[in-house]
Structure 1
Amino acid sequence: MTNKPASKVLHTWKRISLVEETIQLPNGKEIIHTTIAHPGAAVILPIDQDGNVILINQYRPSLKKWLLELPAGTIEHDEAIEHCAQRELEEETGYFAHEMISLGQVTPLAGFCDEIQYLFVAKDLTRPSRYTCDDDEIIEVVTLTIHQLEQLIITGEISDAKTIACLSKAKLCGYI
Structure 2
Amino acid sequence: MAQRTIHQWKSIALVEEDIELPNQKNITHTTIKHPGAAVILPITESGDILLLNQYRPSLKKWLLELPAGTMELGEDAEKCAHRELIEETGFEAGSMISLGQVTPLAGFCDEIQHLYIAKSLKPNRSLECDDDEVIELVTMSLTELQQKIIDGGITDAKTIACLSKATLCGYI
Displacement of 1:29 in angstroms is 0.2
1:30 corresponds in structure 2 to: 26
Match of 1:135 in 2: 131
Aligned to 1:51: 47
In the alignment, the residues of structure 2 paired with residue 52 and residue 152 of structure 1 have an alpha-carbon distance, to the nearest angstrom, of 14
Q: Deviations over 1:94-116 (max 9, x none)?
A: 01000000000000000000000
Query: Which residue of 8, 27, 30 corresponds with 2:4?
Result: 8
Counterpart CA distance in 1 for 2:73 and 2:16 is 22
Q: What is the rounded CA distance, in whole Å, between the counterparts of 1:14 and 1:78 in structure 2?
A: 14
Structure 1's unaligned 5+ residue stretches are none
TM-aligned CA deviation for residue 14 of structure 1: 1.1
> What is the CA distance between 1:130 and its match in structure 2?
0.7
Question: Could you tell me the TM-score, scaled by structure 2's length?
Answer: 0.99
CA distance in 1, matches of 2:124, 2:69: 20
Alpha-carbon RMSD across the aligned residues, in angstroms, is 0.4
2-side partners of 1:172 and 1:129: how far apart?
32
Q: Summarize deviations over 1:121-164 as a string: whole Å, max 9, x none.
A: 00000012111111110000000000000000001110000000
1:174 aligns with 2:170: yes
**C-alpha displacement at 1:78, in angstroms?**
1.4
1:72 aligns with 2:58: no
1:148 aligned residue: 144
What is the CA–CA distance in structure 2 between the aligned matches of 1:124 and 1:99, rounded to whole Å?
6
Partner AA of 2:135 in structure 1: I
Structure 1 segments, 4+ long, off by >4 Å, are none
Q: 2:158: which partner in 1?
A: 162
Shift of 1:171: 0.5
TM-score normalised by L of structure 1? 0.97
- The number of residues matched between the two structures is 172
Q: Deviation at 1:80?
A: 1.1
Partner residue of 2:112? 116
1:79 is paired with a residue whose SS is: coil
Q: What percentage of aligned pairs have identical amino acids?
A: 67
Q: Does 2:92 correspond to 1:104? A: no
Displacement of 1:52: 0.4
Residue 15 of structure 2 corresponds to: 19
**Displacement of 1:10 after TM fit?**
0.2
Counterpart Cα distance in 2 of 1:56 and 1:91: 12
Cα displacement (A) at 1:77? 1.8
Amino acid at match of 1:126: K
Letter in structure 1 aligned against 2:151: T
Distance 2:27 2:89 in 1: 44
